[in-house]
Amino acid sequence: MSADTMQLIQQFLLLLQYTLIFSSVLMMVALGGCFSEHSGVINLGLEGIMVIGALGGALVMRYLPAETSGLVMVLLVMLGAVVFGLVYSALLGVASINFKADQTIVGTALNMLGVAGATVLVKAINTASNPDNPSSIIEYGIPRQSFLVTFKIPVSVEGGAERFLSFEFNWFLVVAILMLVAAYVVLYKTRFGLRLMACGEHPQAAASVGINVLKMRWSGVLISGIYGGLGGICYIMAAVSQWEFERGVAGFGFLSLAVMIFGQWKPRRIALAALLFGLLRALSNVGTGFAALQALNIPGGVYNMMPYVICLVVLAFTSKKSRAPKAEGIPYDKGMR
Amino acid sequence: MRNLLKRKGVQSLIASLLCIILGLLLGYVVLLFINPAGAGQAILAVIRNFLNVSKANLQLKNLGNTLVKTAPLLMCSLSVLFAYKVGLFNIGVAGQYVVGAAAGLYAALQWGWGWLPCLLLAIALGAVSGAIVGMLKAYQNVNEVISGIMLNWITLYTANMILSGVTEQASPYTLHLRGNADQAILPSLGLGNLFNKHQYITIAVPLAIILAIVVLVVLDKTRFGYELRATGNNKNAAKYAGMAEKRNIILTLMIGGALAAMGGALLYLTDFEQWSVGLSSVPGMGFNGIAAAFLGGLNPIGAIFSSYFIQHITAGGAFVDKSMYASQISDLISSIIIYLCGFVLFIKHAMNTGLLRSEERAALRKQKKAAQAGNPEKGGES
């Protein structure tokens, strides 16, 4: 094999690696949004929930002793992210379900609160342990290894030396697929899921057959917290071994909203949409590695904005007969018809 | 007293003050958790802002800094509240602000335009950005919140790409206007001298306040404003009354976009800040505008005060003891306040039911008194 071919294959592997992990993140968070919207609550706070979920997982990694076994580490980190995401999403639940607050304001507030809260907390932790370190960075290089399986494929390159093709497999890929199956089964094959979706289409009708609408909406919001939290920790561990919480999650929560809409609120389509948008994100990161793409000279920003452009175009053509839950965004009022 | 409490404006004011007090209180609790020793001082530092420095000169300078950033925030909040009167949630304000900033900077640095054409270009492009959301809403029934969010990110990436042509060498920051495009800096008209020769105080500050008054007049005193409010109250009723509902939706969002974009230009054409083309998130100014609009009770005059307040505590965050707390504590407080703003409707509802109940009780007491007063007489008769 020539050195050039080898490099091309390596670039493809890298692209695949990024695409898969970014798609997993987008899919999980979009599925979370899907649960919340199907129950009738628009969750614009996904970005904030991701940040807080990521914080939960990162804190677990910071405080667990380094010699913790891999499996325990993986499970506890995920648990940390899930619990943080769940608790944080309750803020949306209280405001929008019990107090009938405007869901757009609350979602926006949660996004800002997530970044500000995480920054304040991490900085406080860092300065407490070392007064000269007022940064909002948590490092997790060693615990991160528990999530990875690195494949090294030996290749003999022309001209002698043996080189390796490498590919990082991340256990989060498996988690994401399990979460996808779970979402599909719960939404379409269980009584709970069908009832939940009824509350997003016509809550008064659902209530008339004895479904507790408030309870269903709470479930939807909390499940979105679980999915969002997992997506958050998965995102910050996707490619780097430390995270600066001041930076938030760079719009992945909003990108997931686009995935959810492009996926028309259906789990299987969401998975496909996530793959497409994940690929675009990956291209913006590693696309310059390909000579052919480099020759086209497309700035990374173009790849980054494509998902939003696609989503906007899709919306423009489908919104007249939208598949969005009919009653989303409207606080439940028993007396309304 | 009761009649005073019934007035809408008074209720809004009470609700907003309640949000502020609760927000500060919760912020204080967070500080207590982090380090109880300096919590009281830190929260006072946030509230005092420029009063933390002792010299009058420096106080004026710091107040000036806060005002420079109040002007764009006020513009963003005007954009939000204007659209909200028509029942539209203009979350696209964040992107429209970016449109204005990018258009102003690019025209100034690349084409060497003067400040007025730069400002007008920003306003025009902001209106276009708003019109996209408006037309999608009016003709294709696309939810304005979703399309606004999508446009926010499209705008951010576009701005970063365009402005990367006018950055400093080997730096993600755009060139300073001072020295590179002096003609594009907003005129000060001597206003800077009022703030200890503040070089960034320009006509932006009075301009924003004038526009707040203009928005108030348009909404309250013109036929157009009346139609907008009617459309906001009941879309169908307005349509049957012969109002051009689609045109009004598009126009409203165009005006919203223009206001927000003007805000972006009003900040960046002072040269107070440089744009970083490495930005990976939409700037928070627009989202803070949402906060200011609701904190100000959706009233343009209220927005002047709420915008100032938000910038006041944001700047105040810089004065907390950095060895204990992060300056972002003020971001935390303002985001708590926005969260609480979501409860404003509930607070008003609670106030109204409370008032009704106390009125009922008063009426009952009156009846009882009348009955008691009546009884002995009756007794006397029998």
Domain ranges of chain A: 3-321
A298 φψ region: left (φ > 0), alpha (ψ -120 to 50), beta (else)? beta
Three-class secondary structure of residue A150 per DSSP: strand
- What CATH code is carried by the domain that includes residue B163? 1.10.3470
User: What value does the mean pLDDT take over residues A181-205?
Assistant: 94
According to the model, what pLDDT value does residue B347 have?
84
Please tell me the distance from the alpha carbon of residue B178 to that of residue A262, in angstroms, as a whole number.
45
d(CA B144, CA B150): 10
Question: Minimal Cα distance from A101: which residue of B?
Answer: B342
- Given a cut of 80, whether residue B194 has pLDDT beyond it is no
The pair of three-digit structure tokens given for residue A8, joined into one six-digit string: 């091309």
What pLDDT was estimated at residue B237? 84
In a domain, B380, yes or no: no
Q: Could you tell me what percent of chain B has a pLDDT over 90? A: 41
Residue of B nearest to A111 (CA): B335
pLDDT at B378: 52
DSSP conformation letters of B15-79:
HHHHHHHHHHHHHHHHHHHH-GGGHHHHHHHHHHGGGGS-SHHHHHHHHHHHHHHHHHHHHHHHH
- Taking 90 as the threshold, does the pLDDT of residue A16 lie above it? yes
Looking at residue A337, its pLDDT comes to 60
Question: Whose structure tokens read 């001597």?
Answer: B190
Candidates B26, B33, B93, B150: best to mutate against A (most CBs of A within 10 A) is: B150
List pLDDT tens digits, range B205-263. 999 999 999 999 999 899 988 888 888 888 788 888 888 888 889 999 999 999 999 99
Identify the pLDDT of residue B87.
Answer: 85
Residue in B with minimal Cα distance to A298: B161
Checking B320-323 for CB contacts under 8 A at 24+ apart, the result is: B320/B42, B320/B45, B320/B46, B321/B38, B321/B41, B321/B42, B321/B45, B322/A134, B323/A127, B323/A131
The tokens for A259 are 């995935």
Instruction: Find the mean pLDDT for residues A41-48.
Output: 94
Checking if the pLDDT of B45 tops 60, the result is yes
Min Cα–Cα distance to chain A from B32, Å: 12
Band (B101; pLDDT cuts 50, 70, 90): very high
Average pLDDT estimate for A6-22: 90
Chain A residues close to B164, C-beta within 8 Å: 299
Q: What is this structure's pTM?
A: 0.90
| Residue B1 banded pLDDT, cuts 50, 70, 90 | low
Computed over every residue of chain B, the mean pLDDT equals 88
| Inside any domain, residue B159 | yes
Identify whether B341 is part of a domain: yes
* CB-based contact, B325 to chain A, within 8 Å: yes
Task: Specify if B381 maps to a domain.
Answer: no
The Cβ of residue B187 has, within 10 Å, a number of other Cβ atoms equal to 12
Express each pLDDT in B288-327 by its tens digit: 999 899 899 889 999 999 999 999 998 888 888 877 888 8
Residue of B nearest to A48 (CA): B335
Helix (H) or strand (E) holding B152, with range, is helix B144-163
Structural domain harbouring B114: 2-366
Residue B381: the pLDDT is 47
Q: Which CATH code for domain A3-321?
A: 1.10.3470
Q: What is the pLDDT of residues B331-377, one digit of tens each?
A: 899 899 889 988 887 888 888 888 888 888 888 888 888 888 776 55
Chain B residue whose CA is closest to A260: B146
The mean per-residue pLDDT over the stretch A25-31 comes to 96
pLDDT in tens, A134-157: 888 998 888 888 888 888 888 877
Query: Cβ contact (<8 Å) for B346 and A110?
Result: no
Residue B371 lies in a domain: no
pLDDT tens across B76-86, in order? 999 999 999 88
The answer as to whether B351 is a domain residue is yes
Say if B328 is an interface residue toward chain A (CB within 8 Å).
yes
pLDDT band per the 50, 70, 90 thresholds, residue B171: confident
Q: How many domains does chain B have?
A: 1
Mutation target for A interface from B157, B325, B346: give the one with most A CBs within 10 A.
B157
235-294 in B: which are within 8 Å (CB) of A?
A: 280-282, 284, 287-288, 290-291, 294
The Cα–Cα gap between A281 and A239 comes to: 13
pLDDT value of position A166 = 84
